[in-house]
Amino acid sequence: MTNALAKAIAAGEMDVWYQPQIASTTLRIAGFEALARWNHPERGCIGPDEFLDQSEECIEDLAAFVLARACSDAAHWPGLVVGVNVAPHQFAHSAFPDDIAAIAAAAGLSLDHLELEILENAALENPDAARAVMTRLRQMGVRIAIDDFGQGYSREFLRLDLPVSKIKLARSIVTDPTASDWIREFVRMAHTIGMEITAEGVETQAQALTMQTAGCDYMQGYFFARPSPGRDVMRALTGGGAKSPSADTSPSAEES
Ligand code: G
Ligand code: MN
C-alpha cells in the first residue's frame, strides 16, 4: 500500500527546483539548493511545507528521489555545489554515507560538489551519532550544512565543534532588524573554526547589505532569485552574475 506521496513520485508529479546561493563578495552563483516541488493535479505546484506532514511515512522515498535527481542535474553544472535537504532519521543511519556515495556515483556527481543540509535540531539531538556520520561524509569530500540555524540565538552549537562546512542562518534571524550585531559576532566566531555562513531568506536589498556587511559568505533568498525548475538553471548560469545589493535598483518582487 503506497500513500499519496509515493504515488505522486511514481506518476511523475514530483519535481526538483533550484534556488541559487550567491557568494557575498563576488555576487556570483556559488551553488543551488534543491527543493522538492509537487505538481499536484488539484492544488497546483506546492512545496514541502504544504505536503510533508501528511506524508511522514514516505519521507525516505521523497528524500531519495530528490537526492538522485539533484545529483544527476548537478552533474551537468560547471563546478557548482548542490545543497540537498536530508531528513533527520536518514542522517541517523550509519549506512547513510555509503548510500550517498552510491547515489552520487550513479549520477556521475563528484562528492565534493554535494552539500547535505541537516536541521540544527537533528544535529543537536544526538551530537555523537551526528559527529560520526558527518566525519565519514567529510572524509568522502561531502560538505555538511546546518539548516535553519539560530532560532535560539545561541552560540552553544559552535562549542560542539562538529565537522560542519557551513551554517545557514534561519530567515527569522536574517529578517530580524535587531539581530545584526549578533550575526556579526556569530560569523566572526564561526570563521575562527573554519565554518562558512549563509544568510537564508534574504528578501530585500537592505537585508542583503546587512548580511554582506556582517560577513556572511553566501546569501540566498527571493531578493536574488526564487526557486526555479532544473531546466532554467543552465540558463541562469550562462546569464552571468547576480543582482547586486548595492545597485541602485529596488528589490525585485517578480517571480523567476
Ligand atoms: O528549510 P529550508 O531552508 O530548506 O527551506 C527552504 C524554503 O524556503 C524553500 O521552500 C524556499 O522556497 C523558501 N524560501 C527561499 N527563499 C525565501 C525567501 O526569501 N523568503 C521566503 N519567505 N521563503 C524563502
Ligand atoms: Mn535547506
**In three state form, how does the secondary structure of the chain look?**
CCCHHHHHHHCCCEEEEEEEEEECCCCCEEEEEEEEEEEECCCEEECHHHHCHHHHHHHHHHHHHHHHHHHHHHCCCCCCEEEEECCHHHHHCCCHHHHHHHHHHHHCCCHHHEEEEEEHHHHHHCHHHHHHHHHHHHHHCCEEEEEEECCCCCCHHHHHCCCCCEEEECHHHHCCCCCHHHHHHHHHHHHHCCCEEEECCCCCHHHHHHHHHCCCCEECCCCCCCCEEHHHHHHHHHCCCCCCCCCCCCCCCCCC
Question: Which residue has cell 543540509?
Answer: 117
Q: Under a CB-based contact definition with an 8 Å cutoff, are residues 80 and 32 in contact?
A: yes
Q: Under a CB-based contact definition with an 8 Å cutoff, are residues 62 and 9 in contact?
A: yes
Ligand 1 atom with minimal separation from the 47 CA: 10
Question: How many residues in the chain?
Answer: 256
Ligand 1 atom with minimal separation from the 147 CA: 3
Q: Whose CA is nearest to atom 10 of ligand 1?
A: 47
Residue to substitute in 37, 82, 222 for testing ligand 1 pocket (most ligand atoms within 8 angstroms of CB): 222
Whether residue 147 has its Cβ less than 6 Å from ligand 1: yes
Whether residue 221 has its Cβ less than 6 Å from ligand 1: yes
Whether residue 230 has its Cβ less than 6 Å from ligand 1: no
CA of 170 to the centre of ligand 2 (A): 9
Confidence class of residue 242 from pLDDT cuts 50, 70 and 90? low
CA of 133 to the centre of ligand 2 (A): 19
Whether residue 9 has its Cβ less than 6 Å from ligand 1: no
Ligand 1 atom with minimal separation from the 85 CA: 4
Confidence class of residue 255 from pLDDT cuts 50, 70 and 90? very low
Confidence class of residue 54 from pLDDT cuts 50, 70 and 90? low
pLDDT above 70 covers a percentage of the chain that reads 89
Please write the tens of the pLDDT for every residue from 184-218.
Answer: 999 999 999 999 999 999 999 999 999 999 999 99
CA of 104 to the centre of ligand 1 (A): 25
CA of 173 to the centre of ligand 1 (A): 13
- What is the CATH number that goes with domain 2-235? 3.20.20.450
Whether residue 222 has its Cβ less than 6 Å from ligand 1: yes
Domain range annotation of the chain: 2-235
Indicate if the pLDDT at residue 256 is higher than 70. Answer: no
> How many whole angstroms separate alpha carbon 46 and alpha carbon 250?
28
